[in-house]
């Protein structure tokens, strides 16, 4: 066997090994982070959500929470639900493709906004204040533009709503959003590399504040390292700059 053939066989074996490590990692992540809510089929997607009905004597307008990139419904539900429970009806959801929600036909920010509106209809929430964090800010602007009759108000927390100089994002988002190459990367390298970097990357997000104890585990952040979620997240981020600029 010549050197090129041996190198090719080694590369194939390495990819299969990384794919096996990823599959085992996905199993472990899902075992440690089971669904925290319920599921509904909405606009061709299976959406995972947690709905807290309005209590008697609620003094606040219903609240809908839209999380950011790489996250899931726990990111907002863990800190905010205890502060607001008993005062308002609340809806937390995994955006399509992230957390435990399936992607469905939700490749654009506008489509995701429509799916959130449809879920509100399913649950009988006629109008709400939408609370958006980070990337969720872009989804929320689409929601307010397309569904003003459902929008009682908007709350933006560190939102992605305007263009930033250069429009740059992390290299792995661009790579993963590419056809074929992105699929291969997400199925082999994204999980092992992501697990090595996830602590430092999350600490960077919180900087200059300190990363809260047990945040990664409690908020189930490793769910984003599953291949399908990693690709959905990358495709979202890849279109963000063009959307907010438009």
Residue 7 pLDDT level (bands cut at 50, 70, 90): confident
Q: Is the pLDDT of residue 2 over 90?
A: no
From 148, 202, 192, select the one nearest 15 (Cα to Cα).
192
The 10s digit of each residue's pLDDT in 88-99 is 999 999 999 999
Cβ proximity of 119 and 93 under 8 Å? yes
Q: Is the pLDDT of residue 5 over 90?
A: no
From 243, 203, 192, select the one nearest 23 (Cα to Cα).
192
Mean pLDDT across 93-112: 97
Angle (deg, nearest 10), helices 136-146 and 109-123: 70
The 10s digit of each residue's pLDDT in 53-69 is 998 889 999 999 999 99
- The Cα 8–Cα 207 span in angstroms is 43
Residue 125 burial (C-beta neighbours within 10 Å; 0-12, 13-18, 19+)? buried
φ, ψ of residue 154 to 5 degrees: the values are -130, 135
SS3 for 78?
A: helix
Mean pLDDT across 27-37: 97
- The domain made up of 15-245 is a member of CATH 3.40.50.1820: yes
Q: Is the pLDDT of residue 218 over 80?
A: yes
C-alpha dihedral (161, 167, 172, 176), degrees to nearest 10? 70
Task: Look up residue 159 and give its two tokens.
Answer: 């939102």
């Amino acid at each position: 066997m010549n050197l090129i053939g041996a190198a090719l066989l080694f590369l194939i074996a390495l990819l299969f090994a990384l794919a096996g490590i990823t599959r085992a990692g996905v199993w472990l992540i899902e075992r440690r982070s089971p669904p925290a809510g319920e599921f509904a089929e909405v606009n061709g997607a299976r959406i995972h959500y947690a709905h807290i009905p309005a209590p008697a004597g609620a003094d606040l307008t219903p609240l809908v929470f839209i999380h950011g990139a790489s996250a899931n419904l726990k990111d907002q539900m863990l800190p905010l639900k205890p502060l607001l429970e008993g005062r308002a009806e609340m809806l937390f959801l995994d955006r399509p493709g992230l957390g435990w929600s399936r992607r469905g036909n939700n490749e654009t920010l506008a489509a995701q906004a429509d799916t959130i509106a449809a879920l509100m209809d399913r649950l009988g929430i006629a109008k709400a204040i939408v609370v958006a964090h980070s990337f969720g800010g872009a989804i929320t602007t689409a929601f307010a533009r397309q569904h003003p009759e459902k929008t009682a108000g908007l709350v933006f927390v560190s939102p992605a709503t305007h263009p930033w100089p250069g429009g740059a994002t992390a290299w792995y988002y661009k790579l993963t959003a590419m056809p074929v190459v992105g699929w291969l990367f997400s199925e082999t390298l994204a999980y092992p590399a992501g697990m090595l970097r996830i602590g430092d990357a999350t600490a960077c997000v919180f900087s200059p504040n300190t990363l809260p104890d047990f945040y990664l585990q409690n908020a189930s952040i490793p769910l984003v390292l599953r291949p399908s979620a990693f690709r959905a997240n990358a495709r979202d981020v890849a279109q963000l700059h063009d959307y907010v600029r438009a």
